[in-house]
Structure 1
Amino acid sequence: MIINNLRIENFKSHSKTSIDFNTGISIIMGENGAGKSTILEAISFALFKQHSSRSLQNLVHSGSTKMKAQLDFMVNNRLYRVIRERGKTTSQASLYLKEGDNFHKIVSGDKLVNMEIQNILEMDGDLFLNAVYVRQGEIADLIEKTQSEKKQLIGKLLGIESLEKAWKNMASLIKDYEAQKENFKGRLESMGNLQDKIKENNVKKNKIQGQIGDIQSKIKEIITQLEKIKKEKDEMDNQYVIYNQIQSEISIKKGLLTSAESRQIELKSEINKIIDQEKQMEKIEPQLNRLPDLNRFKDLISDTYTLKKDKNRIEELVTKIKSFESILSNNQPYFEEYKVIQDKILDISKERSHFAGAHDLMESKKSTQKNLQKKITKLKSEIESSFDTANNALDSDFNKWEDLEKHLLKIKKAVDLKIKSLDLEITDIHRQISSLEGLNQSIKKPLKELESVEGQCPVCKSDIDESKKNELLTGYLGEMDDNTGKINKLKFSLQGMEKEKEIMESKSKIIQAINVDVLKEKSKLIDLSIKELDEIEMEMEKLSSNVSKLEEIDANLSSKNSRLKEITDQYNQYIKAQGALDSAEDSKILQESLNSILKQIDFNNNEILKLKSSSGVHSEDIHKIEEEIKRITELNNQYQQMKGSIDQKESKIETLKKVDSSIKESKKCIETFTQSLENLPYNAEIHQKLIKSFETKNQEFLEENGNEKELNGILKGIIENINQFQEELDKYQQYKAELSSTNDFIKLLNIFRDLYGKDGIQKDLRNMSRPIIEENTRDFFEKFNFDYSDITLDEDYNIDVYGPLGNTSLDMISGGERIAVALALRLGITRALSGGNLELIMLDEPTIHLDSYRRQELIEILKKMSIIPQMIIVTHDSDLEEAADNIIKVQKEKGNSQIFIETA
C-alpha cells in the first residue's frame, strides 16, 4: 500500500489540512502538541476507524459539529479513496475505486467499508497498527530493554499478547462455570425428598377440607336462629322509635313552656321600667332649652380667639414687607453691576473656548519633544554599543549595518560548513573506535579460552603444541595492541577535532548573537524619530500665539471673577428680598383683611355680652362653658334613650298577651303526649334482651365464618405447596441434564485454555514466525552494508551476528550497528506481518529515548534507506530533515494546526 493524499476537516486540532504524500522518506516536523501525530491517527482512522480518543465526538475540532477524513491509497496499481464523516450523532463511511478519470463508489457504511479494506490490504486494523505503524520508543526498546521485555514487545506485535490475555481470562470463565456446576449439585441434593413432601401435604389437604365442611353446617344452623331473633328485634325497634319521638315532643313542649314563662316575667319588668322613665323625662325637659345658646356662646368665643391670631399674623407680615422693600432699595446698584459682569464673563468664556487646550497641548508637545530627544540619544548609544560589540568580536571596523550584514552572511556559511564537516569526521571516528573496541572484546574470549586449555585450539578444536599456542597468544595480543594503538590515535585526533568544533561552535554563537535586524530596526527608528521631532517643533511654533492669547483672556477673566466675588453678598441679599416679596401677599389686600377682622371682633364681643344673660353663664372661660354643654348633652342623650323606650311600651304590652296564650297551649300539648306515651305497648327490658341475643348470635356467626376463611387460606397454601413441589420435581430432570452439559463444557474450556497457553498456539506461533522474521531481518541488515555475514534469532529472540571474528552477541557490537540491528528486526517483523509485501512504514518519534550518539546513528541509517518505497516519520528532531525527501512542517496558531510543505 502506498498513501497518495490525506485530506482532513475539523479533525482534532486540524480545521482544514491537505497533504500529498510522495514516495521516499516524508518527515512530519513540529513542536510537541502542534498536531503531528494527529496526521498518523487520521490515516489510521480513515482506513480502519482506529483512534486514541475516548469517543468519536472527541475527534471533532472544538467549536465544530462535523468532521471529515479522506484518504487516497494505492494497492496493486489500483487507486482507492476512503471517506469517513462524523456529525453530532451520526457517522458515514464510503469506499471508492478510481476507474478512468473518476472515482466510483464500491461500498458504504462503517462495517462494509472496514471489511472491504481488510480484503484489499489483507490485514485488519490491529494488524495494520502492529505491522505498518511503529510507535514511539519501539526502536529504543529493541536495543535497551531486558531480554524478557524484548520478547514481550515482539509477542505483542505478533498478537501473542492477546492469546496470553485470552488464556488468563478463561481461568475466571472456567471458575464461573465451576460455581454454576456446584449450584446445580446443591439444587439436586435439596430435591431428594420432594415425593414425600407431596404425600404429606395431600394428607393435610384432606383433613382441612373435612374441617371446612363441619364449619359450613354449623354456619347454616346459626343463620336460621339469627333470622328468627332479628324478626322479633325489628318489631321492638319500631316501637322504640315511636316511644322516642313522643318523649322528644314532650321535651320540646316543656322547653317552650319554660322559655315562655321566663319571657312573661321579663316583659312585665320592662313595662314597669318604662313607667318609671316617663316620670324622669318630665324633670329633665326644662334644662334642655339652654343648649342652643350655650353652643352659640362657645362658638363666638372660639371664633374671636382665631380672629385675634389672624390679626397678629397680618400685622407681622406688613412689617416684614416694609423691611424687604428697604433691603431691595439699598442693594439695587450691586444687583445691576453683578448682572453686567456675568454677561461680560460669558462673552469672555465664549472667546476663550476658541483657544482652550492650547496650553495643555503645548505642554504635551514639549513632553513628546523631550521623550523623542531621549529616545534618539538612547538609540544612537545602543547602535554604537552594538557596533563596538560586533567589531570587537569580529576584529572589524564597521559602522553601517549593511556592510556588517554582508560580512556576517559570508563568515556564517563558512563556519556552518566547517561544523558539519567536523561532525561527520567525529561520527566516523566514533564508529571506528566502537568497531575496534568490539574487535578487542571479541578477541578476549578466545584469548581467555586459549590460556586455559592444553593441547587443543579453542576455536577449531585441532591439536596444538606449546609453541603454536604461544604463537596464537602472541598473535591475538599483538592484534589487540595494534587495535589499542589505533584507538588511542583516533581518540587523540578526536580530542583535537572536538576542541576545534568547540571553537567553531563558540564562533557560531557569537555570530548568532549579533542581531543585524535589531541594528536595522533601530536605525530606522532614529530616522522616524528625527522626522517626528521636526514636525513637533513646527507645531509648537504655531501654538505659541494661541497660548499668549489664552493667557491674556485668563487674566481678564480672573479680574472679572474677583469683582464678582466682592459683590456676591449684596447680590444674594437682593435676590432673597426679591424672592420674599414675590411670594408675599399684596399689602393693600392684607390691610383690607385686617380691617375686616377688627370689625368682626367688635361684632362678636357685642354678641357675647347678650348671651351671658340668656345662657345663664356669666364667665367667658371656654372650659367651663364646655363642661356645662357636656352635662346638658348627657341629659339630652338620656332623654332621647328614655323616649325610645317609651315608644315601645304598647308593643311590649301586646307581646305579653301573646306569651300568656302560648303558655296555656304548651301545657295542653304536654298533657296529650303524656297520655299517648302511657298507652304505647313498648317494654325496654325485653328490647335490651333481644338486642343482646342478636349480637351474641351474630358474633358466633362471624367467628365461625372467620374460622372457615382461615382454613381456606391454609388449604390454599397447602395446594400451592403441592403445585410448587410438583414444579420442582419437573425441574429435577432439567437440572440433572444441565449439570451434565456444564461438566462437558468445562472440559472443553480447559482444552481451549491449554491451546491458548504458552506451550500451545503461542509456542507454535513463535516457532512459525521466528524463521520468517529471522530471514527478513537478515535481508534488511545486509542492505545496511555492515561487515557481518549473518544474523540469527533463537527461540527467545536473542540476536547473534556473525562477522570476521565469528559469532558475536548484540551487546558486543557498536552502537550504530545495534541501531541497525534493531531497525532491521522491526522491519523484519513488519514484513512478516504484512505477508512479505512491505511498501509503507510509519514511524512515530523513532529517535525518542535514544541518546545523542544513537540518535545520530539512526539518522545516518535512515539517510541511506531506499529499501522501502514509502516511509512517513513523525518527529520534532530537526536533524532528521537531512534524511528527508519531503518535509511537512506543522505549527499550531490559536488552537488550529497549519502545515507547510517543503522539498528537501
Structure 2
Amino acid sequence: MLLNNIRLKNYRKFRDEFIEFPRGILGIIGRNGVGKSTIFEAIGWALYGSVMSRSGKDEIKSQNAPEGEICRAELEFSLGGHNYKIVRELQGKSPLSRAFVFIDGSNLPEVARDSEVNKYVEKLLGMDYVTFMRSVYAKQKELASLSILTRAERQKVIRRMLNIDKIDLAVDAIRTDKRDKQEFIRGIEFKLEDMKKLKQQQNNTTKEIEGLKEKIDTLEIKRTRLEKKKGRTRKSRDKQEVLYKKHNEIKNSISKLSSKLEGLTQRKNELLKEEQKLKKEKQTLATLEPKEELYEKKKRQKEAMDELRLRHNRKNDLKRSVKQKQREIKTQNRLIKETQNRLLPLKDIDRKYKKAQKDLKEIKRKKMILDRDTKEIIKKESVFKSKIEELSEKKDEISSLGPNSKCPVCFRRLGKTHKDILNHFEKEITKIKGEYQKIRNIKGKLASQEKQIKDNEARLEKHKDALNKKLARKSGLEAKLRNQKQELSKATTKLAKEKSELKSLVHVKFNDVQYKKLKTELESLSKIRDEIIRLRKDVSRLPQVLQDGKINSKAIAAQEKELKTQKKALAELKFDEGKYEKTKRTFEQVSDDLSGCETNLEKEEGNLKVKDRELKTIKDKITEQKTYRVKIKSTQTDIQYLERLESLMSDFRNELINRIRPLLTARASYLFRELTDDRYPLIELDEDYNIYIVDENQKYGLKRYSGGEEDLANLCLRIAMSQVIGERSGAEINFMALDEIFGSQDESRRINILNAFNKLTNQFAQIILITHIDTIREKLPYVLRIEENSNKESHAQFE
C-alpha cells in the first residue's frame, strides 16, 4: 500500500487542503499545535472511521466552517495494481457519517455505507485499525514507554502490539467454556434422582389406575339403572303436577273474584253517600248565587280607587324627592369647588416629572458607559496578572532546573543560556508589572466616578418617586372632579323631570276612609264568592256519580255469576293432595340417588385423571433423567477435547513468542548498527523483553546509556516490531509514520537516523517524519511545512 494524496475539507484546522505524498522520506515540519499529527489522523479516519479520531465526531469539523458545509477527507492510495479512493464525510448538526470507496477512477462507488466501508478496508488491507496503527505509526511517548514499564506491563504491551494477546484471549475463552461445561455437569448432577424409586412409583400408580377404572364401571351400571327408574316416576309426577296446577289456578281465580266483588260492594256504598252530599250542596248554592252580582260591583269600585291611591302616593313621593335632590345639588357644588382648589398647587407637576425622568436617563447612560469601561479595565488587569504569574512560574521552573539540565521544549542542554533566559524573564515581568500598576490607577479613578454617579442616581430616584406620588394624587383628584361633575349633571336632570311630573299631579285627591270601608265590604263578599265557585264545581259532578252507581251495580251482578261458576269447576276436578305429595317425594328420592351416583362417578373420574397425570409426570421424569445422563456423558467428552485444545493453544503461544523474539532481536540489531555507525553491534531481548546493548562483547541495560541512545534503541525495536506486524498480517503496507522521534537526539544522531531511514526505503517506500525541529529540513528530500494563520487555520506547503 502506497499513499498518493489526501484532500481535507473543514477537517479540524484545515479548511481546504490538498497534499500529495511523494515516494521516499517526507518530513512534516511545524510548530507544536499547528496540525502536523492531524494529517496522519485524517489518513486513519478516512480508512477506518471514528475509531481513529482522538475526539468525538462533533469536534472533528473545523470551528471556522460555515454551518451548512460538510467535513470531508478524500484519501487516494495504490495497492495490488489498483488505485483506490476512499471518501468519508460528516454532515449536519448531529454529525451523520457517510463513506464511499471508488476503484481505478470509477464514478460509481464500490461500497457506499459507513460500516460497510470499514469492513471493506479491513478485508482489503488484511488488518483492523489497531493492527494498522501498530504497524505504520509510532510516537515518541510510545517509544520511551517500552523501557520504563514494569516487566508485566512491558510483556502485556508487546504481546498486544504483536497480536499475541488474541491467542491469550482464545485460551481464556477455552478455559471459560470448560468451566461452564463443568458447572453445567454439577447443575445436572444436582437434579439426578434414584431411577429404581421412580420405576416403583410408576408401577404403584398403574395399579391405582386399574382399581379406579373398576369403580367407575360399577358406578356407570348403577347410574343406568337409576336413570330408568327416574323416567318411570317422572310420568306419574307430571300427571299429578297438571292436576295440581289446574287446582291452584281455580283457587286463585275464586280468591281474585271474591276480592273484586268485595271492592265493588264498598264502592257502591261510597257512591250513595256522595250522591246525598251533592244534592244538599245544590240547595245551598241556590241561596248564595244572588250575592255574586253585588261582589262584582264592589270589585270595580275598589279597582278605580286603587288607581287613584297610586297616583296620590306618587305625588307625595315626588315632593320629598324634589327637596332631597335640591340638597344634593347644593352639596355637590360645594365639593366640586373644594376639589378644584386642591388641584391648583399641582398644576406644573407633569412638566417636573418629565424633567426628572430625562435627568435620570442621562445618569443611567453615564453609569452604563462607566460599567463598560470598568469591566474592560478588570479584564486587562486579569490578563496582566495572569501573564505575571505565568512568567514567574516559567522563571522558577528554569531556575530550578539549573544550567546542566535539558530544555523542556527541545531537550537540549541549557548551559550558558540558562542565565540569559532568567534575565529575559525578569525584564518581561518588570515591564508587565509597570503596565499592571497603570491599570490599577485607572481602576481607582473609575471607582471614584462610579460612587459619585451612584449618589446622583439615588438622589434623582428619590426626587422622581416624590413627583410620582404627587402625579398620582393629581390624577386621582382629576378623576374625582370628573365624577363629581357627572353626579351634579345627573341630579340636575332628574330634578327637572320630577318637577315636571309633580306639576301634572297637582289636582289629584284621595279619600282614605271611604277606601278602607270599601275594602272591608269586598273582603266579606270575596269569601262568599269563593264558596259559590266551590259549590258549583262539586255540584257539576252529580250526573257522573249517578252514572257510576248504575255501572257498579251491573259489575256486581256479573262477578257473583262468575264466582258461582268457578266454585262448581273446583268441585268437579276431584284433586287428591295426599296422592300428589307422595308421588312428588318418590320422584325426588330417585333424583337424589341418581345425583349422588353421578357425583361419586365424577369424583372417581377426577381421581383417575389425577393419577393419569401423575403417571405421565413420572414417565416424563424417567425420560428426563435418562437425557440428563446422556448429556453428562457428552459434556464430559467435550471437556476432554477442550483440555487438549487448551494445551495445544498454550504450546502454540509459547512457540510463537520464542520464534518472534529472535526475529525482533535480529531486525532491531541491524537498525541499531546502522544508526550508531557500527559502534554497537547487537541489541538483545530477554524473555521479559528487557533491552540490552552489546558493547565490546558485554551486554548492558539501557540505564547505562544516555537518553538519546536509549530512545534510539527503543526506536529500532519499534521499527522492527512494525516490520514483523506487517509481515505477519500479510498486508502490503509500504509506508511508516514516526511522530516526534528527534527530540532527545543530538545533531549527529539525527543524521544517522535519517541515513538509516534512507536505507529502509527498500522496505518502506514512504517514510513520514513528523517533527517540530526545523534544523533537519535540509537533510530531508521532501519537506511539507504546516503553518497557522491569524484565523487559527492551518495550511500545508512543500518547500
TM-score by length of 1: 0.62
After TM superposition, list the pairs within 5 Å mapping 1:129-140 onto structure 2. 129-134=133-138, 137-140=141-144
Give the deviation of 1:226 after TM superposition. Answer: 0.5
> What is the CA deviation profile of residues 527-566 of structure 1, one whole-angstrom value per residue up to 9, with x for unaligned ones?
xxxxxxxxxxxxxxxxxxxxxxxxxxxxxxxxxxxxxx9x
Give the deviation of 1:829 after TM superposition. Answer: 1.7
The one-letter code of the counterpart of 1:26 is I
Does 2:799 align with 1:795? no
Cα distance change on mapping 1:692 and 1:572 into 2, 3 Å: closer
After TM superposition, list the pairs within 5 Å mapping 1:193-204 onto structure 2. 196-204=200-208
Cα distance change on mapping 1:632 and 1:504 into 2, 3 Å: same
2:404·2:415 contact (CA, 8 Å) conserved in 1? Answer: no
2:325·2:495 contact (CA, 8 Å) conserved in 1? Answer: no
2:326·2:495 contact (CA, 8 Å) conserved in 1? Answer: no
Q: Which position in structure 2 is the counterpart of 1:647?
A: 540
Quote the Cα distance in structure 2 between the aligned partners of 1:631 and 1:28. Answer: 130
> What is the CA deviation profile of residues 824-846 of structure 1, one whole-angstrom value per residue up to 9, with x for unaligned ones?
322322222112976444568x7
Larger displacement relative to structure 2 (864-873 or 59-68):
59-68
Q: Which position in structure 2 is the counterpart of 1:167?
A: 171
Give the deviation of 1:813 after TM superposition. Answer: 1.9
Question: Equivalent of 1:97, from 92, 95, 103?
Answer: 103
Cα distance change on mapping 1:283 and 1:35 into 2, 3 Å: farther
Question: Equivalent of 1:247, from 247, 251, 257?
Answer: 251
Cα distance change on mapping 1:94 and 1:238 into 2, 3 Å: same
The one-letter code of the counterpart of 1:871 is I
The one-letter code of the counterpart of 2:672 is F
SS at match of 2:727: coil
2:58·2:95 contact (CA, 8 Å) conserved in 1? Answer: no
2:45·2:52 contact (CA, 8 Å) conserved in 1? Answer: no
SS at match of 1:768: helix
After TM superposition, list the pairs within 5 Å mapping 1:435-446 onto structure 2. none
SS at match of 1:51: helix
Question: Equivalent of 1:768, from 659, 667, 685?
Answer: 659
Give the deviation of 1:237 after TM superposition. Answer: 1.0
Question: Equivalent of 1:755, from 643, 648, 666?
Answer: 648
2:312·2:508 contact (CA, 8 Å) conserved in 1? Answer: no
2:2·2:733 contact (CA, 8 Å) conserved in 1? Answer: no
Give the deviation of 1:286 after TM superposition. Answer: 5.9
Cα distance change on mapping 1:511 and 1:91 into 2, 3 Å: closer
Does 2:141 align with 1:142? no
The one-letter code of the counterpart of 1:821 is A
Question: Equivalent of 2:507, from 581, 599, 603?
Answer: 599
Cα distance change on mapping 1:643 and 1:174 into 2, 3 Å: same
SS at match of 2:86: strand
Quote the Cα distance in structure 1 between the aligned partners of 2:776 and 2:582. Answer: 124
Cα distance change on mapping 1:94 and 1:862 into 2, 3 Å: farther
1:98·1:104 contact (CA, 8 Å) conserved in 2? Answer: no
After TM superposition, list the pairs within 5 Å mapping 1:463-542 onto structure 2. 496-507=416-427
Quote the Cα distance in structure 2 between the aligned partners of 1:30 and 1:637. Answer: 122
1:229·1:690 contact (CA, 8 Å) conserved in 2? Answer: yes
The one-letter code of the counterpart of 1:768 is R
Q: Which position in structure 2 is the counterpart of 1:636?
A: 529
Give the deviation of 1:57 after TM superposition. Answer: 9.0
Q: Which position in structure 1 is the counterpart of 2:161?
A: 157
SS at match of 1:598: coil
Q: Which position in structure 2 is the counterpart of 1:269?
A: 273
Q: Which position in structure 2 is the counterpart of 1:446?
A: none
Does 2:124 align with 1:125? no
Give the deviation of 1:793 after TM superposition. Answer: 0.8
Does 2:708 align with 1:816? yes
- 5+ residue gaps, structure 2, are 338-346, 385-397, 443-474, 758-763, 778-782
The one-letter code of the counterpart of 1:662 is A
Question: Equivalent of 2:577, from 676, 681, 684?
Answer: 684
Give the deviation of 1:239 after TM superposition. Answer: 0.9
Give the deviation of 1:204 after TM superposition. Answer: 3.5
The one-letter code of the counterpart of 1:597 is L
Larger displacement relative to structure 2 (164-173 or 105-114):
105-114
Q: Which position in structure 1 is the counterpart of 2:598?
A: 705
Q: Which position in structure 2 is the counterpart of 1:51?
A: 51
Q: Which position in structure 1 is the counterpart of 2:224?
A: 220
Cα distance change on mapping 1:138 and 1:310 into 2, 3 Å: same
> What is the CA deviation profile of residues 439-458 of structure 1, one whole-angstrom value per residue up to 9, with x for unaligned ones?
xxxxxxxxxxxxxxxxxxxx
Cα distance change on mapping 1:574 and 1:812 into 2, 3 Å: closer
The one-letter code of the counterpart of 2:51 is H
> What is the CA deviation profile of residues 763-808 of structure 1, one whole-angstrom value per residue up to 9, with x for unaligned ones?
2222121122222323443454385343211111011113369432
The one-letter code of the counterpart of 2:222 is K
Q: Which position in structure 2 is the counterpart of 1:661?
A: 554
> What is the CA deviation profile of residues 656-708 of structure 1, one whole-angstrom value per residue up to 9, with x for unaligned ones?
23223323332332232222222223222322332232222223223323333
Cα distance change on mapping 1:228 and 1:820 into 2, 3 Å: same
Give the deviation of 1:146 after TM superposition. Answer: 1.6
Quote the Cα distance in structure 2 between the aligned partners of 1:510 and 1:855. Answer: 33
Quote the Cα distance in structure 2 between the aligned partners of 1:882 and 1:690. Answer: 132
Give the deviation of 1:865 after TM superposition. Answer: 5.0
> What is the CA deviation profile of residues 112-154 of structure 1, one whole-angstrom value per residue up to 9, with x for unaligned ones?
7556544653433332133234479533422322222112211
Q: Which position in structure 1 is the counterpart of 2:451?
A: none
Give the deviation of 1:73 after TM superposition. Answer: 2.5
TM-score by length of 2: 0.69
Larger displacement relative to structure 2 (734-743 or 654-663):
734-743
Cα distance change on mapping 1:696 and 1:49 into 2, 3 Å: farther
- 5+ residue gaps, structure 1, are 335-344, 387-418, 434-489, 523-564, 616-624, 848-853
1:791·1:801 contact (CA, 8 Å) conserved in 2? Answer: yes
Quote the Cα distance in structure 1 between the aligned partners of 2:362 and 2:95. Answer: 63
Cα distance change on mapping 1:209 and 1:14 into 2, 3 Å: farther
Q: Which position in structure 1 is the counterpart of 2:455?
A: none
Quote the Cα distance in structure 2 between the aligned partners of 1:283 and 1:136. Answer: 142
Larger displacement relative to structure 2 (135-144 or 36-45):
36-45
Q: Which position in structure 1 is the counterpart of 2:471?
A: none
Q: Which position in structure 1 is the counterpart of 2:28?
A: 26
Cα distance change on mapping 1:120 and 1:234 into 2, 3 Å: closer
SS at match of 2:239: helix
Q: Could you tell me the percent identity over the aligned residues? A: 19
1:72·1:80 contact (CA, 8 Å) conserved in 2? Answer: yes
SS at match of 1:265: helix
1:219·1:704 contact (CA, 8 Å) conserved in 2? Answer: yes
Question: Equivalent of 2:83, from 68, 79, 86?
Answer: 79
Q: Let me know the Cα RMSD of the aligned residues.
A: 5.9
SS at match of 1:835: helix
2:88·2:100 contact (CA, 8 Å) conserved in 1? Answer: yes
Quote the Cα distance in structure 2 between the aligned partners of 1:804 and 1:120. Answer: 47
Give the deviation of 1:175 after TM superposition. Answer: 1.9
